[in-house]
Amino acid sequence: MLVGLAFFGVLVGFSSGFFGIGGGTILVPSLIYLGYDIKMAIGISVMQMIFSSMFGSYVNYKAGVLQFNSGLFLGFGALFGAALSGPIVNYLPQIALLIMFAITLALSIYKFFTAPLEPKSAPNESKIVLFIVGVIIGAIAISTGTGGAIFLTPALVGFMNWDIRKAVGTTLFFIIFGSISGFISLSANGLVDYPAGFAVGLGSLAGVYFGVKVSHKVSKTVQKRALLILYIIMFILTLNKIING
């Protein structure tokens, strides 16, 4: 089982590097369909994010698509928000977590779909705004087993006029902070399967390298369309789980 999870981690890592996500958007629904309880699936997902986000951010930094200063303020906000994830996951019922994920994902799809491919004004890089955004997304994202990029990228591109390529590179860096804080919080509440999380995380290291490299080569149009397809698939899977229990 652990070997299979490691191979699956390669796929998760590639998606993480290409889309700038933590991998939870794919991993949590997949683990649920494999029979894991959503709360344990979230714990495994958050643990593997530490692996993929740190290595992927290093590759993005070397390529010059990581907004380091802005990412720090987003990350510090995520530290505060993600610290709430343990109590949130522990006390909210499974259906509430699924509905919260589905609603936030639907709003992200709409905003990302309507955003222009190229920014029409200067990007908003207010440190206060970035910190607040980090707190809110950190709390919601880690509590639903995602790194937050699936919510943060549409926020940066749609609301704050960021270039999509720099938004994707920076959100992966943001995930480092939220995943570490969330991992500590979830661990304290007994919600992490360490062997499974380590297996997926180890496999993701290989995948994230190639995912980042491919993301730097494709056009912004292709990258945006690929992100929209991913978002819609995850929304359908989550909605199906809500309806069918």
Q: Is 245 helix (H, G, I), strand (E, B) or coil?
A: coil
Highest mean pLDDT, choosing among 53-67, 94-108, 202-216, 220-234:
202-216
Q: Is 121 helix (H, G, I), strand (E, B) or coil?
A: coil
CA distance 83 to 101: 18
Tell me the one-letter amino acid at 157. Answer: V
User: Residue ranges of the domains in the chain?
Assistant: 2-244
**Quick one: pLDDT at residue 132?**
92
Q: Are 190 and 42 in contact (CB under 8 A)?
A: no
Long-range contacts of 235-238 (CB under 8 A, 24+ apart): 235/102, 235/105, 235/106, 235/109, 237/29, 237/33, 238/29, 238/98, 238/101, 238/102, 238/105
pLDDT digits (tens, 9 = 90+) for 37-75: 888 888 898 899 899 889 988 888 888 778 788 888 988
Of 10, 11, 4, 14, which is closest to residue 172 (Cα–Cα)? 14
Packed helices 94-114 and 220-244: angle between N→C axes, nearest 10 degrees: 150
Of 145-149, 168-172, 213-217, give the lowest mean pLDDT range: 145-149
**Quick one: pLDDT at residue 7?**
86
Highest mean pLDDT, choosing among 12-26, 70-84, 110-124, 191-205:
191-205
CA distance 115 to 47: 32
Q: Are 148 and 171 in contact (CB under 8 A)?
A: yes
First to last CA, the chain: 25
Q: Which two tokens stand for residue 59?
A: 């590759």
What is the average pLDDT score of the chain?
83
> Distance of CA 57 to CAs 190, 198, 204, Å?
28, 19, 13
Secondary structure letter of residue 156 according to DSSP: I
